[in-house]
Chains A and B, each alone.
Chain A
Amino acid sequence: MGNDVWLIVTDPADLAVLPRVQNLGPVTALVIGDRELADLASRAVAAVQWIETADAVPAEAYVAAAAQSAAAATPRVIACSGAPASRAVLGAVAARCSAPLLPAVAGVTSDGAGVVVERTAIQGAVIATYRLTSPVCVVLVPDETAAGSVPEPATVVAAPSAAVAAMQVVSRVATAKASGLADAARVVSVGRGVRSRADLGMVEELAGALDAAVACSMPVADDLGWFPKDRYVGRSGQCIAPRLYVAVGISGAPQHLEGIRGAKVVVAINSDPDAAIFRAADCGVVGDLYEVVPALTAALAAAHR
């Protein structure tokens, strides 16, 4: 068994999880993608193996070759982010190595010949700990701390990429709509805690005071039809990264939170102190939004005076 860590990289998001496994030893990045991605990896890790993708061939076509390279190196830990093509490789490595595969992993530490894996479970309500013999495959959650760069970029070594699966991209159509949400620096978002459409004016006034765009949770667009569908945030809607996200009467379902992972400051206004949104928020007010929202609008106006 090797002593090192392999990181599967098919997307820059994979490099963002690096700090969670850097404590274990030297990290080898197995990059499947273009030269730019390989160069990005070379500035973050000790060694880079690179499978270059051909035009119109998705990274998933190279999974078998990638898994073979990773398994042959017998690493102790094989890791990636939730990026789809990276997970595809991870599943193939786990099968080859008869290794366990754990998702939502926040940390891995050495434990003699094995490892201790910590992951979030029950929608973030608990941290679960596992003691496992290596090798282990882990899908890591994003880390906010920046990965340290290496003093000298690693040499990028071409990895064998034979046996490409028969898959080809036949079309790519931009779908990011002109909702303006994607570029908004500040977003105020409406959830089902707002009781009636007539009350939206109050939220829009808050958005005006913050110079923010207005978004919503999925049911507010889908079921209530108060906003067009390109205005809801979450895994099935818009994934946004504003500097400020104010969730008004939103419970914080995991599918919603997926859309605001990149937000810098998340504010929650909710009457339920146990609402999941408070676990994802930086700050918040526990209270009735019908009192808090007008008070906040007034406080912003006062602060700008």
Chain B
Amino acid sequence: MTTAAAYTWSRDPGSAHVSADGTVTWPAAKLTPGEDDHAALAVAVAIGGSEGVVGVTLGAGDASWALARKATRAIVVSDAPLGDDDAATGAVLAAAARRAGADDVVVVGDSEAHPGVAPAVAGHLGWPIMLGVTSAQRIDGRVHVTRQVAGVEETVAITPPVVLGVTAVSVERSAPGMKEMLAARKRPVEKVTVAELGLEQRAALHPTTTRCPEATRARIFDGDPDRAAADLVAFLRSEGVA
């Protein structure tokens, strides 16, 4: 049984520069994995099948990132760029997971920025999916996943194959050390192309235009703190909240 952890690397939105006309530029081309990906990989490792965990990524995704976190091998679709269409990203990751022999569980970070990727991976594999998962364990051949739903912790038992969309509850607490990084270098990485996966090469979807949103709706009270505070209280009272 092969478990896969699919992830993508993208530019950190915090490093974008937005001009007054809404044009977006990227002064620092810093790439990061999705903020939920470390938790997704940890879940994959926790429930990994007999054949271990294969890291699956595309474009600028760094295979060694997964390999340093206990993935036993990795596959990278090197000519598939990451665009804004979550279905296109999901199609490539699903095809790569299939190529890597994933036949059990595919784990994907259920990210706020790309909430359609994990669902599209499942759609393209034709597998069921559970999203918002925070932890999982294997019991008698079934995967028991836990998730938070409106103040309730729900545990669901699922018979694989299944795609799990995992939500991180915090930043990664312990990043791999030098030993893990060195071990990662020895693990195999397969590079494939979109054509080798039998997919049509499509240009990544990007917006035709970007603009700044209408002026912020926040009413700002500034200047002397006492004056600002008095104006704010008057506003809150007019809104009936103070």
Contacts and interface: CB of A to CB of B under 8 A. Distances in A.
Interface string B203-242: 0010111111100111111100110111011111101011
Contact of B13 (A88, A119, A123): A123
Interface in A120-157: 120-131, 137, 139
B110 to A, nearest CB: 8
- Counting contact residues on chain B (CB < 8 A from A), the size range is 35 or more
Contacts of A175: 148, 151-153
Given A101-B87, A296-B233, A122 B220 contact: no
A58 B241 contact: no
Interface string B24-51: 1000000000010000000000000000
Contacts of B158: 165-167
Contacts of A298: 226, 229
Contacts of A91: 86-87, 90, 116, 118-123, 129
A174 B152 CA distance: 4
Nearest to B213: A127
A261 to B, nearest CB: 12
B220 A137 contact: no
B232 A103 contact: no
Given A129-B207, A167-B157, A264 B229 contact: no
B188 interface: no
Interface of A is mostly: mixed
B71 to A, nearest CB: 24
Interface residues of A, number: 88
Contact of B237 (A126, A170, A303): A303
Given A236-B170, A265-B241, A299 B232 contact: yes
Name, among B132, B233, B235, the residue most crowded by chain A CB atoms within 10 Å (CB to CB). B233
Interface of A: 58, 60-61, 63-64, 67, 82, 84-85, 87-96, 98-103, 119-131, 137, 139, 165-176, 182, 186, 210, 218, 222, 235-236, 243-244, 254-255, 258, 264-265, 267-268, 273, 278-279, 281-288, 291-292, 295-296, 298-300, 302-303
Given A284-B218, A295-B225, 5 more contacts: A61-B128, A95-B126, A103-B113, A128-B210, A287-B225
21 contacts: A58-B156, A84-B149, A91-B86, A91-B119, A94-B123, A98-B87, A102-B85, A126-B18, A126-B22, A126-B213, A128-B209, A130-B207, A165-B158, A167-B162, A169-B155, A171-B155, A222-B170, A273-B220, A288-B225, A296-B232, A300-B233
